[in-house]
A = this chain, B = another copy of it.
Amino acid sequence: MDFLKLEDQACFPVYALSRVLTAHYKPILEGIDLTYPQYLVMLVLWEHQQLSVKEIGEKLLLDSGTLTPLLKKLESKKLINRNRSNEDERVVMINLTAGGTALREKAKAVPESFKCSLGLSIEEMVALRDSIKIILERTKQINK
C-alpha cells in the first residue's frame, strides 16, 4: 500500500467528515444564531451550568486562545456571563444567563434536524459515534 496516496490516508476522511458534519449543522444552528463551536460551548454549559474556561477547554479540547474570543462573543449575545473567581483570581467562571438557559428549549430541535439533514439512521450515527469515541480516547491518552 502506498501511504502517500490520499485514498489510503486515515486522517483525511476524519478531517473531511468533520467539515461535512459541521456544514450540515450550519443552517440548523443559524436558526438559534450559533456557530458549531459556540453550540458545543452551550451544550457543556447546559449540562453543567457553571464552568471555568479551563474546564470548558478540557471538555472540548480547546485552549484559551480559541475560547476567549468565542466566549466574548457568547457574552456579547447575552447568553453567558464571564466573571473572575473570588477564590482564585486567575480563573474565569462562565455562567449561563437567563437567555442562555432559555435557548436550550429552542436547541432541543437541533439533534433531530441534524439527523434528518444527514440522512443517517440513529443506529448508524450511534455506531459512528461509538467507534470514533474509542479512537479519540485512545489518541487523547497517547497525547499526554
Contacts and interface: CB of A to CB of B under 8 A. Distances in A.
A6 B129 CA distance: 11
Consensus secondary structure, chain A interface = helix
Interface of A: 3-6, 8-25, 36, 40, 43-44, 46-47, 59-61, 104, 107-108, 110-112, 114, 117-120, 124-126, 128-129, 131-133, 135-136, 138-140, 142-143
Number of copies: 2
Given A9-B40, A128-B131, 6 more contacts: A15-B18, A15-B22, A15-B36, A17-B139, A120-B135, A132-B132
Nearest to A62: B19
Which of A11, A118, A128 counts the most B-chain CB atoms under 10 A from its CB? Answer: A11
Nearest to A7: B47
A20 to B, nearest CB: 5
A60 B16 CA distance: 7
3 closest residue pairs by CB, A with B: A3-B111, A18-B18, A10-B129
Nearest to A8: B129
Nearest to A15: B18
A40 to B, nearest CB: 6
Contacts of A15: 18, 21-22, 36, 40
A120 B25 CA distance: 30
Given A13-B132, A131-B128, A6 B139 contact: no
B119 A142 contact: yes
